[in-house]
Structure 1
Amino acid sequence: MTDYRDEAVAPATSIEEFRKIVTSRRSVRRFTDEPVPEDVVEDCLDLAMLAPNSSNLQPWEFYVVREKQVMSQLAEACLGQNAATTAQLLIPIVARSNTWKKNSLRNLDYWPEETMPKIIKTYYSKIALFHYNPGPLGSLGMAKKAMGLLAGLARPVPRGPYGINEMRTWAVKSTALAAQNMMLAFRAHGYDTCPMEGFDERRVNKILALPNDAIVTMILGVGKRAPDGIYHRRYRFPRDEFVHYI
């Protein structure tokens, strides 16, 4: 795979090819028995991890499940949905709200250039460690929220994330971006997905032995689209109800 990450000039692209990928992506509910090649899965994981994310703290984890017994347990936890029972693999996509400190410091080690600008070093070694820290039981978050309310009277200030719940939302937002990258990547490879939110999260957490801060954002069913894999024609509400020009 060509690596364009360090290109000074963006490579030529095709809007029609992108449109084909986006418009042909559907939530497929039934899959064939054709397996998904391992190299395809690995490439889609790599592309998922290129998703934009808050402060490059990468608060995501991906559990690639092929083992039949674990897949069966997950399918049951997904309420027996066809997208889970017929998938060739399941990928629980997990947001982590407590990895911000570890990953902030890792940015200091993984910086890809010879020298790190002082502002970047200060950000990851000091500012981010304060900004994303909710404190014990969210106590620091409440104090920061009060400080933000006062400072915000005079100038624009970042409004959070402050408390523990806001950090959970923060982690899920970046993780959802990675999930969309992954779904489009599978479609580009000729495979299909179904992002499932209907599942028993407590059972999924137990099956995967997830840590306490883990939030299962969705479980992705992956495979080749079966002839009856799409239940109905796609539709959307009127565009002008959702798009605002100011």
Structure 2
Amino acid sequence: MTASTHAPIQTKLIDGKERYYEPAPQGIDVEAFRQVVTSRRSVRKFTAKPIPKEVVDDCLDLAMLAPCSSGLQPWEFYVVRSSGKKAKLVKACMSQWAAKSAAELIVCVARTDRVNEFSKKMMRDWPMPEVPPLVKRYYQMIPYNYMPGPLNSFARVKKAAISVGGIFTPLPRGPFTEDEVKLWAAKSAALACENLVLAFRAHGYDTCMMEGYDEARVSKLLNLPDGAFPIMVVAAGERAEDGVFWPQVRFERELFVHEV
């Protein structure tokens, strides 16, 4: 299913009203999913085996199904196939083994410059016959909510107003500034990266999510516009026998999980 294809719309009478209905799927193999998650490792060395294009495409399609803020999908994926560009990308990744030996190098880019465009597209592509008035108003307001203004001037005004209003009622405290909007986009793009690497693992291939790269060189290589920035380079391929350098380390669960 492509991103622009919608499943047939189902409705059901719920609480006396006809509502959209999407039943939760049953029979999902939890142990198979657990195996995908637990066997995912940061692989530093790959074999020379290529990944079939249909597998790469399927993994990218699954990546784009990741959760995202307001459905705005603030990401792009650049599959670097040109041998010249791939060599430059490997160099920009500090020539680390994962980059040099990978069958595929995919750059995940976060975008903050398409909020206005994609808010309008969301209303045009709404999967139901009509866009509910509250939903329409919400997407009309999003560009203003995410607009920092020159030198964060709008952001400072909005932040001050929200700080006062927040005294009386719970309110979202951002994103307002340029850095906060970049963080907003990066969070959604990172979720898509996780989908991508788990999809490769499910297909029997492995990955390494690399943050060790020269961002300026990668941006120049991909000719990224203002408002677009790389957040991760994903190396993918078949795991070499010595591709995992050491056992996985995870600290004690109680350091991270809290019941309050």
TM-score (normalizing by structure 1): 0.96
Q: Is residue 66 from structure 1 mapped to residue 81 from structure 2 by the alignment?
A: yes
Secondary structure of the corresponding residue to residue 152 of structure 2 = helix
What is the match of residue 96 of structure 2? 81
Residues 138 and 163 of structure 1 are in contact (CA less than 8 Å); yes or no, is this contact kept in structure 2? yes
State the shift of 1:128 in Å.
1.1
Partner of 1:223: 237
Match of 1:153 in 2: 167
1: CA distance between counterparts of 2:7 and 2:194?
19
CA distance in 2, matches of 1:173, 1:104: 18
Distance 1:97 1:116 in 2: 24
What does residue 45 of structure 1 align with? 60
Superposed CA offset, 1:57-78 (max 9, x none): 1110000012221111100000
RMSD between aligned alpha carbons?
1.6
Q: Secondary structure at the match of 1:198?
A: coil
Q: Which residue number corresponds to residue 201 of structure 1?
A: 215
For structure 1, list consecutive stretches of 5 or more residues without a partner in the other structure: none
Give the number of aligned pairs: 245
Q: Distance in 1 between matches of 2:174 and 2:147?
A: 10
Following the alignment from structure 1 to structure 2, what is the Cα–Cα distance between the partners of residues 10 and 69? 46
Task: Tell me the SS of whatever aligns to 2:224.
Answer: coil
Ranges of 4+ aligned residues in structure 1 off by more than 6 Å: 1-4
Matched ranges for 1:3-42 at <5 A = 8-12=22-26, 13-42=28-57
Match of 1:164 in 2: 178
Looking at structure 1, the residues matched to 199 and 125 of structure 2 have their Cα atoms a distance apart, in angstroms, of 25
Range that drifts further, 10-19 or 193-202: 10-19
SS in 2 for 1:215: strand
Deviations 1:137-192 (A, max 9, x none): 22111110000000011110110001101001010000000000001011111111
**1:63 aligned counterpart, secondary structure:** strand
Q: The residue matched to 2:79 in structure 1 has which SS?
A: coil
Quick one: distance in 2 between partners of 1:216 and 1:88? 20
CA shift for structure 1 position 136: 2.3
Q: Which residue of 1 aligns with 2:152?
A: 138
AA of the residue aligned to 2:82: E
- Percent sequence identity over matched residues? 49
**AA paired with 2:249?**
Y
